[in-house]
Amino acid sequence: MNLDLFNEPLQTREDICAGVVLLRGFALPSQNLLLNDINSIITTAPLQKLSTPSGLPMSVTTTSCGEAGWVSDSYGYRYSKRNLKSQKNWPAMPNSFLTLAHQAAFTAGFGNFLPDSCLINCYKVGAKMSLHQDKDEKDFSQPIVSVSLGLPATFLIGGLMRTDKTIKIPLVHGDVIVWGANARLFFHGVLPIKTGRHALLGEQRINLTFRKAL
C-alpha cells in the first residue's frame, strides 16, 4: 500500500470537539483515483436500496467493498462477508481507499488504522441519514473515517444520547471527518441534501465510510 499518496499539505484541520476532527479538502489530491475506483466497485456490486429491520426503505442507495459490507434487512443491522443480493464476496478495497483512510485517521490522531470495510452511500437530492450510532462493529477502539464527495451536506454530530445537542458541520467535496476515542459512539446523521449540481458527480453526494468491522 502506497502511504505517500498525499504529498500536498492539508488545507485546514478543525477540531470540532474531543475525538472529532474535520479535515477540509483532504481527499481532493486523490479525487480522480477515488472516483474511478468507486465506479469500478459500483459496476461489480451495484448500488441497492436497503430497508430497516422494520421494513422502511432507506433514502440512500448503498454498496460496500472490503472484507465485509454493512447490510440491513428484516434480520437486523450487521456486517456480511457476502453481498446479500448477489451472494458474492464484496469487491476488494482499492489501495486509494486504504491510503486515504489510513492517512486521514493518522492526521486526526488515530495511528495504525487499517479498515476492513467501506460503506458507499449515494445521496440524491432530498436523501438524508437519521441520527444513529455506528455500533455493529466488533472493536470500538478504532475510529471512523467519513469522506464527502459531490454535493454539499450538513453533517450532524451529537453525544452518547440521541437527545444530546448536535453540532451542524457543513461538508463539501473532498472533506473528511474522523471521530473516535470517547466520541466513537456519538450519534450522527446527515440533513436532507439540497438541490444542486456538482461538476464531477452531478446531482448527488457520495459518502465513503471506513470502519474496522471484524
Task: Please report the pLDDT score of residue 1 as a whole number.
Answer: 45
- Tell me the C-alpha distance between 7 and 199, whole Å: 24
Confidence of residue 93 (pLDDT cuts 50, 70, 90): very high
> Does the pLDDT value for residue 166 go beyond 50?
yes
> Does the pLDDT value for residue 10 go beyond 90?
no
> Does the pLDDT value for residue 202 go beyond 50?
yes
DSSP structural state of residue 175:
-
- Tell me the C-alpha distance between 110 and 24, whole Å: 17
What residue segments make up the domains of the chain, in order of their start?
12-211
H/E stretch holding 21: strand 20-24
Give the 3-state secondary structure of residue 122. Answer: strand
Task: Please write the tens of the pLDDT for every residue from 33-71.
Answer: 999 999 999 999 999 999 999 999 999 999 999 999 999
Task: Please report the pLDDT score of residue 206 as a whole number.
Answer: 99
Task: Please report the pLDDT score of residue 158 as a whole number.
Answer: 98
Task: Please write the tens of the pLDDT for every residue from 111-143.
Answer: 999 999 999 999 999 999 999 999 999 999 999
Third-level CATH fold of 12-211: Jelly Rolls (2.60.120)
Task: Please report the pLDDT score of residue 7 as a whole number.
Answer: 46
Residue scoring higher pLDDT (203 or 3): 203
Task: Please report the pLDDT score of residue 2 as a whole number.
Answer: 43
- Tell me the C-alpha distance between 11 and 107, whole Å: 12
